[in-house]
Every structure is written in C-alpha cells, then in structure tokens.
Structure 1
Amino acid sequence: MSVTNETSEFRSGWLFFKRGLNRQKSAIWALVFKEFKLKLGKSRIGLFWVLVQPIFSMLMISGIWYMTGRVQVHGTNVTLYIGSGFIIFLTVRQGLGYIANAIDANQALLNYPQVKPIDTILARFVEGMWLHAWASVLLILGLWWILGVKPTFPDLPLALECVFGAMLLALGFALPLAVLGTLNDGIMKFVNIISQPLMIFSGVVFSIHDLPASFQGVLALNPIVHLVEGFRAGAFGNPLFNEFDLGYPLRFGVISLGFGYALYFRYRFKLLQK
C-alpha cells in the first residue's frame, strides 16, 4: 500500500513539475518572439545593425592596422584575425549590457503570473545568441567572398568550446548584473563605463604575443582573453600564450552563474515589486 502511495505521489510531483516547465518554456518563447519583433521595430534597421555590427567593428579596427602597414598577424589575414576576436568578445559583451537589462526592459510583463524575472533573462539570452550567431556567420562568409580568406579550423573542438564558453560567461555576467542592476540603477551605469575599454584588455584588436611576458600575465586575469586566443588557435592554428587555461573562463562562468542564481533566489519577490 505504501509503495503504491509513494508511486502516486511521485507521478503527481512529476506532472506538476512538467506542467510548470512547459509554462516556463512557453513564456520564454513568447518573450523571444517579442524581443525579435522589437528588433525589427517599424523598420529593419535595428535588425540590420545587429547583423552587421561585428563587420563594421572589424573593418574599422583592421583598417587602422592596414594603415600601419601590417596585413597579417601570425600568418593570418589581419581582418580575419580581428574579426575572430569580435565574434567571441561581442558574445560576452551581450551579458554586460543587452541581456543584463532584460528585467528592467520587461517590467510591465512581470505583472502576468506566467512571466518570471528569470524568463526575461533567458529569452534575451536565446534571442541575442541566435542573432549573433547569424552575424558571425555573415562575417566569415563576407570575408571569404570579398577577401578570399577563411578559417581552416585545425582544432574545431577547441573553437567550439571557446564559443560555448563565451556564451556561458555572458549568461554568468548577465544573471547577477540583471538582479543587482534592477535593484540599483547606478550599477548598470557603472558597468557600462568600465566595459568601454574592455575590448582593448581582451586581446581583440591586437595579439597578446606582441606584449611583454609580464603584461601577458596581467591580461591573463581577464577570462575573455583565454576565450579569444583559444578560438583563434582553434580557427587558425595560432600559438597559445603560456598562461592559457580554457578551464579558467569556464570556472569563472559557472561560479558567476551560481552567484547570480543565489542573488535571484534571494531577491526574486523584490524584483516583481520594482
């Protein structure tokens, strides 16, 4: 009799969990489509900018290198080299801005009981990563078509690990910042200020091998550097610096994600009252 009761309770608990999961999935997908429609707006300029931003950034920085007479970095075309850095950096950068502002941007929707604050973060993460993936593909295809250069991916698993690591780091940054930034508007303003020079300190616009060993050690404290250099090694076979450790940004992302969820669980009701 007790075994039957336990089985019945387990099934009831599983059905309750499954219904809740389905409701959350539906809410997240609805938010994803809502974010996509906002990108389109009254014109397609917003969506166009999202797709071409990495290309414009790459062309601007690589143009400076061309003016100095440098056309290759470690045997790789300088435009492709810079572009690969932007693929990783802009992935992480979304976690410091666009995804982190998800709760504030969807406050009106939190009045609906089906929508939880964390749903807005996950929706922006899915939508942002999807569009950035297409932008990255356009960047690579554009360079192949116009300049005839393309990554050879001698170590494809390493390149993919760095891409997924950048996505993990973006979500790891976004979750605690979304919670803290919703509770205190000044936090996101401060993050926006300090993130401006982050591109320089992430090894996107130059090779870390061009720096003295002491500077390399300092930059190695930035987890994004490991992802950028790891992706370049996987995409082009570029040499890795001595302090390279792919586990470092992965651990950083997991710990940050755990810290962010702890904050979210602590303040989840306060976020609804904001």
Structure 2
Amino acid sequence: MSRTSVRSDVSIAVSVWRALFLREASARLAGARAAWIWILIEPAAHIIFLMVVFGVIRHQVRQDANIEMFVFVGVWGFFLVRNIAQRGMEAINANQALFAYRQVQPVDTVLVRATVEAFLYVIVGAVLLAALALLGIDVRPADPLLVLWAAFLLWAFGLGLGLMFSVIETLLPGLGKVIRIVFTPLYFLSAVMYSVSSLPRSMREVVLVNPITHGLEAMRSGWFAAYHGEAHISLGYLAFCALATVFLGLAMHMRYATRLTAQ
C-alpha cells in the first residue's frame, strides 16, 4: 500500500514564508546595483548629519545621554517603522504573479517583507553600533530587554501600517503617493532628533499622539540609565496602536481578499 502524505496548513504556510523570504531578501539586496550599500548609507547619513547639527553647530549635548547614541536610536527606530510600512505597502503589487498559486496569499507577502526588513535593519544596526564602538563611543544599553521590547513594538506597528497600506495601495493606487509624502513631516513629529521633555507643553501633547514617539523615547530610556524623558511615554499605548493596526490590516485583507488577487 502506498501512503499518501497530507501536509498540514502550518507546514504549507511555513514553506511559503521560507520561499518568499529568500525571494524578497534576494530582490532587496540584488535588485539594483549596490542596493545593500544604500540600505546602510541612508541611516548612516542621517545619523552623521544630526550628530554634526547637534554636536557642532548647536553645541547641544545632553547630560543624561551621549548625543551619538541619542541620534542613533531615533534614526534607526523611525527608519525601521517607515521602511516596513512602505515596503509592505508595495508587497501585493510586486508579487501579483505569485497569486496564481493558491498557497500564496497577499497577506503572506506583507508579513514576509516586514520580516525581511527587520532582519536587514538588525544587521544595519549592528554594523552602525560596531562603527560607533570603534570610535570610542559607549554603545552598551543599560536595559537591553526594554530596548528590545520597544523595538519589537515599533516593528509590529510598522507591520500593521504595512498591512493596511498594502490594501489601500492596491485598491486605490493614487493614495500610495500621499502616504509616502506623509512620512516626511512624521519624521519631525516622532522625536527622532529631540527629547519630548524639551518641547513646550502644547507641542508635547501633539507629538505624544504619535505612537512612534513613545517607542523611540522608551528605547532611549532603556539605553541610558540616567535618561529623563517625558513622564507620559507609554509602551502600553504603542502596544495598543500596534495591535489595533495589525488587527485592522488583517481584517482589510480578509474583506478584500478576492479583489487583492484579481488586480
């Protein structure tokens, strides 16, 4: 008697994710000439520029955090969210041909892209930290678990945005350009280059509406033992926003599943 092996749904999903991960990683790193260099240079350029602005031009040095790591945390954390959201937004259109295989669903492409981007940014962060350490800068976090938890929540929030934006970009392509533009002012409203506690109270309340701000300030609190951030920073708020966006994004994928694969 011949045995017929039936693969479980979990086994099929894992195989699909593994194949998509290898495909996305290859495309991300080899899609254009020196693409991997740009992945490293973009955040490095922002960090160097802000170090010059704060350390030389304005002579602003915080007493509770070294300026190099202060800038690093802000830039790395924001770029993590932005890149996951924007790359996730493009995932469905970039993988339309794969939906001919019923095992591959639109949501899979977004989840895998978010994972690939997180993997790449962990490498980018490690390389930049190594470079700073070679310059004699103390890169050791005071509370690594808090830093990792805040980074994970930022990743989850970026994933939620990517899930929602991917549906919007596929069904209403014109809105994708607007979403990309919105990330520019969001850069200045996410505490990338300043501490929330240094802002006037009226401006502080506006900035604290942004969940990314809570993640970046929490990472700084975990990195610097003496860092005095805003008292109203809440990882619970960031976790709620991350969970809400992921839930809403998955609901949108379920609601418009047929239309997403028929584009």
Question: Shared fold by TM > 0.5?
Answer: yes
The alpha-carbon distance between structure 1 residues 72 and 158, as it changes in their structure 2 partners (threshold 3 A), is same
Return the match for 2:144 from 127, 138, 156: 156
Structure 1 CA distance for aligned equivalents of residues 124 and 175 of structure 2: 29
Confirm whether residue 102 of structure 1 aligns to residue 94 of structure 2.
Answer: no
Aligned length: 258
- The residue identity in structure 1 corresponding to 2:216 is V
CA distance in 2, matches of 1:244, 1:66: 26
1:263 equivalent in structure 2: 252
Counterpart CA distance in 2 for 1:261 and 1:218 is 28
Secondary structure in structure 2 of the residue aligned to 1:72: coil
Quick check: 1:151–1:236 contact (8 Å CA) kept in 2?
no
- C-alpha displacement of 1:153: 2.0
AA at the equivalent of 1:230: A
CA contact (8 A) 1:54 1:136 kept: no
Shift of 1:211: 1.0
Give the greater-gyration-radius structure (CA): 1
Deviations 1:164-217 (A, max 9, x none): 111111111111111121111012111011111211100001222221122112
> In structure 2, what is the equivalent of residue 244 of structure 1?
233
- Unpaired segments ≥5 residues, structure 1: 1-14
Could you tell me which residue of structure 1 aligns to residue 162 of structure 2? 174
Query: Bigger CA drift: 66-75 or 193-202?
Result: 66-75
Secondary structure of 1:136's aligned partner: helix
Which residue of 2 is the match for residue 83 of structure 1?
72
Match of 2:192 in 1: 204
- AA partner of residue 250 (structure 2): Y
- In the other structure, the counterpart of 1:195 is 183
The match for 1:224 is 212
| Superposition map of 1:127-142 within 5 A | 127-142=116-131
Amino acid at match of 2:111: L
Q: Structure 2 CA distance, aligned partners of 1:223 and 1:183?
A: 26
Cα deviation code 1:8-67 (max 9, x no counterpart):
xxxxxxx97x62221121111111111121123276610121133221211122222233
Indicate the SS of the match to 1:94. Answer: helix
> Helix, strand or coil for the counterpart of 2:142?
coil
Distance in 2 of aligned mates of 1:273 and 1:69: 54
Q: Distance in 2 between matches of 1:201 and 1:75?
A: 22
Assess, with a 3 A threshold, how the Cα gap between structure 1 residues 43 and 218 changes in structure 2: closer, same or farther. Answer: closer
Which residue is 1:59 aligned to? Answer: 48
Q: Does the residue aligned with 1:98 lie in a helix, a strand or coil?
A: helix
Shift of 1:71: 5.2
TM-score, normalization by structure 2: 0.92
Per the TM alignment, residue 261 of structure 1 is displaced from its structure 2 partner at its CA by 0.9
The answer on 1:70 being equivalent to 2:59 is yes
Q: How far did residue 155 of structure 1 move? A: 2.1
Inter-partner Cα distance in structure 2 for 1:210 and 1:156: 25
Query: Aligned AA for 1:92?
Result: V
Unaligned runs of 5+ in 2: none
| Aligned amino acid, residue 51 of structure 1 | L
Match of 2:133 among 129, 144, 156: 144
What is the CA–CA distance in structure 1 between the aligned matches of 2:196 and 2:29, rounded to whole Å?
Answer: 38
**Matched residue SS, 2:88:** coil
Structure 2 CA distance for partners of 1:43 and 1:180, relative to 1, 3 Å: closer
Report the Cα distance in structure 2 between the residues aligned to 1:240 and 1:78, rounded to whole angstroms: 14
